[in-house]
Chain A
């Protein structure tokens, strides 16, 4: 008798194992991966994990699919990610490379599950740089695949590449790649998905990527460059069919002027919050603030504030408005990130925020 009952199962998971046994085993393991305890048990057995990864290409679609779903569950766990990253195939390939290859194959079934795995695996911040090493040579290809919404011939939508890019953009190397011409600026291809109606996943990933870029003040000048048109993409989800006086309307980016009656704000509060957060970050420098004012960001936020119900979003919105409504001599600092806030004040502000949120709720 083996100590670990899972050891016994490994033989049923081999490619040449009987299909019915393989099927039942993977089903069982998939169930196991649904709970935290189950994942911990699975992670203790290296052989099982290896066998599951190999099953991604099983001839029986159900088995391959369940293996992939199991890996989705596993990669949702931080420890699972670090274990998976250690794995190498017999031809010395890393799982990231394996899964990138899987997505690149237009004929693969269930590529969406693999996109989820990639999105999950890039999430833990402590291992993102390791992932980037494997991603680096394939970034342009992956972006082109992402942009081509009919890439997968078996009906996978590949939406989850969007949060993957967003996760990756936590790495300075990815931020550099996103903003440099090679021969095109990758971010430009990603931006239209900020307003991609068909998928909230794609929208969230694209906006998340922009938000990560905005955390890096070095990129503010780039982000607010005229030809990037970032404000058009960021403000559109915050706008409904409200009317603006002509002088305000003229200030807005052209694509946002006179939106049709059927225009609605983005229904996803997380996306709205990410946008406000990004705008907040973009307020750091005087030059950026001036660009935001010149593009009528204040007017859009004013109208948005009348509509928003979520207390956190409202608070975030007010914070941006508070900065934009001031004249530069009232702001009194070129770069807001350089201002040191004493701890007692921080605490006080924090308390005020909490009180505000409670009062709105």
Chain B
């Protein structure tokens, strides 16, 4: 029913009316265009900058925009190139390789690595393409100084193509940089089996020499360590033989170097040592009267203590000239916490094994006091 009504309505428009409407629309369009013309066309690429504009267009762009964002159109195109459904694995691998090569050429080695990696992931069954993908990624790694990865990839390339000379040389070079000299030598020798190359021969010699040096250094380190340990054992053995009591050591097995290191600040390197089977001790001399001390390194156990004192007197601080070898008494503080007088004419070694003597902090300590003085009396009384 309604259809008839509509058609009757349309039919009601006469030919003249239609003509008038057409003319009116034409005129309106003309007017519209006229109004446009006045503004002019300024959406187009300006003539002086068209190349720049072209680069920005997804169809033509050669590089990814700096902010890394792709326009939807560019993304669509990229998808087309890298879509697994649109490409065979070999095509994909080649496309990624191209992508890698492009970035490689522009020294974007990181991006190149990503490109080659994608290509490798495709696992196409073409050995040549795979060898080339790994070899190229090795090259990119090489420029990034990732020598381990460069070596790994070069060797991987060689599994696809054992005759790949570039990969062989790079493997050798990367192995050298990574200090894997044996691997480097192996690759150089493999290469030189079928080729002559001065650079590779030189690398081979360099690697052999570096390997020798590395091994020498290791041997030297081992030997020095062994020697040091032997010296240490010898030192401890001698101290035990002498029967010197060391504080904080319960028995002979308990003695080690840490208990013999002088505890005095700055004197830890003055530790007792052996010289021609003679123990050389550090000793500490204390002058309670002036609250001063003397520290002497390397005193031989077979020399009298007095010899050391002779070197020190007259002391610059001893204005009254009270401290002479003939006018002093020497004491040590025993493990009974009591002062014990010492005959300084005895050898140091003999004193170290006298009754109540105990070596504290790896250093033999002696108190020096003017004989018969008030200071001496005070010193003794302070212990009672």
Contact = CB atoms under 8 A, between A and B. Distances in A.
Interface in B172-204: 192, 196
A261 interface: yes
A258 B212 contact: no
A254 B192 CA distance: 25
Contacts of B219: 257-260
B18 to A, nearest CB: 99
A254 B213 contact: yes
A259 B215 CA distance: 10
B223 A261 contact: yes
B212 A260 contact: no
A254 B213 CA distance: 7
B217 to A, nearest CB: 8
B40 to A, nearest CB: 78
B345 interface: no
B9 to A, nearest CB: 103
Contacts of A258: 216, 219-220, 222-223
Interface string A165-200: 000000000000000000110000000000000000
A183 B196 contact: yes
A254 B212 contact: yes
B205 interface: yes
B148 to A, nearest CB: 26
B312 interface: no
B213 A260 contact: no
A260 B215 contact: no
B152 to A, nearest CB: 29
Contact of A260 (B192, B196, B205, B223): B223
Mostly, the A contact residues are loop
Interface residues of B, number: 13
B242 interface: no
Contact of A254 (B216, B222, B223): B216
| Highest count of chain A CB atoms <10 Å: which of B215, B219, B222, B226 | B219
Interface in A249-268: 254-255, 257-261
B154 to A, nearest CB: 24
Interface-centre pick from A183, A184, A258, A260 (highest chain B CB count, 10 A): A258
Contacts of B226: 261
A227 interface: yes
A255 B196 contact: no
B7 to A, nearest CB: 101
B212 A255 contact: yes
Contacts of B213: 254
B226 to A, nearest CB: 6
A183 B226 CA distance: 45
A259 B218 CA distance: 10
A286 to B, nearest CB: 27
B220 A257 contact: yes
Contacts of A257: 216, 219-220
B209 interface: yes
A122 to B, nearest CB: 29
A147 to B, nearest CB: 12
B180 to A, nearest CB: 19
Interface in A223-278: 227, 254-255, 257-261
Contacts of A254: 209, 212-213, 216
A255 B223 contact: no
For A183, A254, A259, A260, the residue with the greatest tally of chain B CB atoms inside 10 Å of its CB is A254
B67 to A, nearest CB: 56
B220 A227 contact: no
Interface string B30-57: 0000000000000000000000000000
10 contacts: A183-B196, A254-B212, A254-B213, A255-B216, A258-B216, A258-B219, A258-B222, A259-B219, A260-B222, A260-B223
